Amino acid sequence: MQGVGAETTGMEGRTTTIIRTVGDVIDARAITTVFQPIVRLDSWNHRRHEVVGYEALTRGPAGTPWEEPLRLFAAAAEAGRLAELDWVCRAGAYRAAIDAGLPVGLTLFVNAEPAALGAPCPPDLAPTILDAQLRLRVVTEMTERAIADDPAALLTAAEACRGSGWGVALDDVGAEPASLSVMPFVHPDVVKLDRHLTQQPGGAYAARVVNAVVAYAERTGAAVLAEGIETEQHLAGALGLGATLGQGWLFDRPGPLPPDVAERRCSLSVPLVAPPAPTGGRTPYEIVAARRPTAEATKRMLLPLSHYLETKAQDPAEPPMLLASFQEGAHFTRATARRYSAIAETAALVAVLGTELPSAPAPGVRGTAFAGNDPLRGEWNVIVVGPHFAGALVARDLADTGPQERRRFTYALTYDRDLVLDAARALLHWIVPT
């Protein structure tokens, strides 16, 4: 294509760059950041509102095919440079906020791809990233689709953000039913309701989302933020959904930060909730058995308990996650594969672990192989987590010889949601990118 001259603001200031490809955009750091305010909904009165923060939104060079962010990120992904672009956009947002004097009392919301957070930071951007960690209060936004793409990266990214003293938001909640089961694993400080819920808050589906989000917020103290508030009617819908924060055209359209942003203050900052305790490399059995009594049973006795939990994973209205470890890959039989593949048609995530398992042992099922000396090889775990239901069967092999159905295990069965989530988080850390 013919090159387009674009005056852009990169990390080093305003320059004029000829843009011919998406690579030129990335190389020149040729992105612009605009900001949309996030407000306290209970402060809205006669078109006045209290701003608690801003969401940073990326724009590509004006007049190019990559001006719109969706096209820009799609082209970068096709070129194999998505992670670098993600770093460029985040650094650009941080630099613009720092240069404008955004006070630490106001929270900056910045979108990120979890996989990109695990990629090395380009050296030229490192000073800006460090400056942001020292001078800004940031909440990093992630979407629920990452749990199926790369659950280990999503959990690692969330932990890294908290390690920097920053918060995490789960974006577009309600856009897909699977996002409701993802919430407790991301453990977001802010739950962002998808704009379609805000603008069409009635109906059974919205009610399911509201119940799950309110239950999560009640347990953790997380804030609920409604996106897409464009009218007074949308504002009423957001309040009806239980949102305390909001953003949308009713309050302001995206643009530069206000000239007086450095002097602005808010009476209540966006809350950051206590993170889940680290699993410390423990297995699901070790986590549950430390807090619940164990019993002894044969495989034949435990199979009905396992099958019962699997049936609880078959809920298309509120899709849960099903995580299971089978010791040996051979224990994931054809019959089991058929059951799990059927569950995967509606579940948020179905993942299985065992020795010599392929990455896709059945249609829709994510597989992870571990080594013969891995601690998980001695365990049989079946864990189901949905928006409201949570259950786990954890068992340790007593190393019997003889017929399979007579093999003995020590086991525990729990429906304590917090304990089940701890066990599930531990198992998710074994699931590696395909």
Domains of the chain: 33-57+103-263 (3.20.20.450), 284-428 (3.30.870)
Considering only residues 90 and 429, tell me which one the structure prediction assigns the higher pLDDT. Answer: 90
pLDDT category at 152 given cuts 50, 70, 90 is low
CB-CB contact of 234 with 250 (8 Å): yes
Checking if the pLDDT of 31 tops 90, the result is yes
Lowest mean pLDDT across 255-264, 383-392, 397-406 = 397-406
Checking if the pLDDT of 1 tops 70, the result is no
Give the alpha-carbon dihedral of 265, 266, 268, 270, to 10 degrees.
-90
pLDDT for position 434: 41
Q: What is the mean pLDDT of the chain?
A: 89
Concatenate the DSSP letters of all residues of 194-242 into one string.
-HHHHHS--SHHHHHHHHHHHHHHHHH--EEEE----SHHHHHHHHHTT
Lowest mean pLDDT across 12-26, 35-49, 173-187, 308-322 = 12-26
- Beta carbons within 8 Å of 173's beta carbon, 6+ residues apart: 144, 179, 180, 183, 191, 192, 193, 194, 209, 213
Checking if the pLDDT of 234 tops 60, the result is yes
Residue 279: name the closest of 432, 421, 118, 433 by CA: 421
Checking if the pLDDT of 219 tops 80, the result is yes
pTM of structure: 0.87
pLDDT category at 92 given cuts 50, 70, 90 is very high
Q: Which of 112-121, 128-137, 180-189 is modeled with the greatest confidence? A: 128-137
pLDDT for position 6: 55
Q: What mean pLDDT is predicted for residues 326-354?
A: 94
Q: Which of 201-215, 256-270, 294-308 is modeled with the greatest confidence? A: 294-308
pLDDT category at 98 given cuts 50, 70, 90 is very high
pLDDT category at 2 given cuts 50, 70, 90 is very low
Checking if the pLDDT of 90 tops 80, the result is yes
pLDDT for position 116: 82
Lowest mean pLDDT across 40-44, 260-264, 321-325 = 40-44
pLDDT for position 233: 94
Considering only residues 232 and 159, tell me which one the structure prediction assigns the higher pLDDT. Answer: 232
pLDDT for position 225: 96
Q: What percent of the chain has pLDDT over 90?
A: 68
Checking if the pLDDT of 306 tops 70, the result is yes
Lowest mean pLDDT across 14-23, 115-124, 237-246 = 14-23
Tokens of 203: 């109906």
